[in-house]
């Protein structure tokens, strides 16, 4: 199955952009009549047939469409402080997309060592992972968001903050407190963790403190571990 990302598709016909056309014609060597798939990133999975082979403007015809293709039974929003080494953050974006995530907020925190990202580059990482893992939903990547602004904003679901400050009280294991089918927003801090003031502010605004285990995890590992926990919980008993 060959999947292409086409957020602007309007059936029944679609022309692939130049980069995708070149991949289709020169790499995959597709011919008229060959089948491929397109997704708009919003849940629609289109089965298409190649109509005209052109390395700059390959045209296809939609022959079938599945709506809400493999839609997750929950919404997961991950708010993660980008790592100093951007490759690690991009690794998280790739793997979280493969596993299943709805929205991603890059966080700006007091201890952040990275205060900017390149949105276009990060979008390409996510799009590549969408195509590789055959997803019909493209995660939404938001602009860099100050932690306190995100905490103060609304969210329809449970809100969690993963932190390492044991002096602030009990931190139950995420896997023991989240329920199957629940929408969740999870905050993951920078390499130096959240500051005590940030944690206190989050708790005062309804966030639940959580632990991701006894191990000391890097930021990107912690973020992926949380993503995996919710995916595994929601995959139980699926036939």
Give just the sign of the alpha carbon dihedral 23, 28, 34, 38.
negative
pLDDT digits (tens, 9 = 90+) for 176-199: 999 999 999 999 999 999 999 999
Tokens standing for residue 133: 């893992």
Could you tell me where the DSSP H helices lie in the chain? 18-22, 86-99, 119-132, 147-152, 174-177, 196-204, 219-235
Q: What homologous superfamily does CATH list for 3-66?
A: Hypothetical PUA domain-like; domain 1 (2.40.240.20)
Tokens standing for residue 148: 């306190």
CA 42 to centroid of chain Cα atoms: 13
Q: How far apart are the C-alpha atoms of 24 and 192, rounded to whole Å?
A: 45
Q: Count CB atoms within 10 A of the CB of residue 158.
A: 16
Q: How confident is the model at residue 236 (pLDDT cuts 50, 70, 90)?
A: low
CA 22 to centroid of chain Cα atoms: 27
Mean pLDDT, rounded, of the chain? 95
Query: Where do we find the tokens 């938001």?
Result: 142
What is the percentage of the chain residues whose pLDDT exceeds 90? 94
Query: Where do we find the tokens 């690690």?
Result: 88
pLDDT at 238: 47
Q: How far apart are the C-alpha atoms of 155 and 64, rounded to whole Å?
A: 35
Tokens standing for residue 220: 């990107």
Give just the sign of the alpha carbon dihedral 105, 108, 113, 115.
positive
Q: Is the pLDDT of residue 204 over 80?
A: yes
CA 47 to centroid of chain Cα atoms: 24
Mean pLDDT computed over 225-229: 97
pLDDT digits (tens, 9 = 90+) for 59-69: 999 999 999 99
| 182 Cβ contact partners less than 8 Å away, ≥ 6 residues apart | 74, 157, 158
Tokens standing for residue 94: 């790739």
pLDDT digits (tens, 9 = 90+) for 27-67: 999 999 999 999 999 999 999 999 999 999 999 999 999 99
Q: Where are the domains of the chain?
A: 3-66, 76-235
Q: How far apart are the C-alpha atoms of 111 and 212, rounded to whole Å?
A: 20
pLDDT digits (tens, 9 = 90+) for 107-136: 999 999 999 999 999 999 999 999 999 999
pLDDT at 216: 86
pLDDT at 154: 86
Q: What is the pTM of this model?
A: 0.94
For residue 82, give the DSSP letter: P
50 within 8 A of 33, measured Cβ to Cβ: yes
DSSP β-bridge partners for residue 162: 188, 210
- CATH number for the domain running over 76-235: 3.40.1280.10
Q: Is the pLDDT of residue 89 over 60?
A: yes
Tokens standing for residue 111: 């201890």
């Amino acid at each position: 199955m060959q999947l292409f990302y086409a957020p602007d598709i309007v059936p029944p016909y679609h022309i692939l952009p130049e980069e995708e056309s070149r991949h289709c014609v020169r790499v995959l060597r597709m011919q008229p009549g060959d089948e491929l798939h397109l997704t708009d990133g919003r849940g629609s999975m289109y089965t298409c047939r190649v109509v005209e082979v052109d390395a700059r403007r390959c045209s296809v015809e939609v022959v079938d469409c599945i709506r809400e293709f493999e839609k997750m039974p929950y919404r997961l929003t991950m708010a993660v402080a980008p790592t100093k080494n951007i490759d690690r953050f991009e690794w998280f974006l790739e793997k979280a997309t493969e596993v299943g995530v709805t929205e991603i907020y890059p966080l700006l925190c007091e201890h952040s060592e990275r205060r900017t990202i390149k949105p276009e580059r990060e979008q390409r990482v996510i799009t590549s992972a969408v195509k590789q893992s055959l997803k019909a939903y493209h995660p939404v990547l938001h602009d860099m968001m100050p932690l306190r602004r995100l905490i103060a904003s609304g969210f329809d679901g449970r809100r969690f903050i993963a932190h390492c400050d044991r002096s602030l009280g009990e931190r139950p294991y995420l896997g023991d407190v989240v329920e199957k089918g629940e929408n969740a927003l999870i905050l993951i801090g920078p390499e130096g963790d959240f500051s005590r003031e940030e944690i206190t502010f989050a708790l005062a605004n309804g966030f639940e403190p959580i632990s991701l285990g006894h191990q000391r995890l890097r930021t990107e590992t912690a973020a992926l571990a949380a993503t995996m926990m919710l995916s595994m919980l929601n995959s139980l008993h699926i036939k």
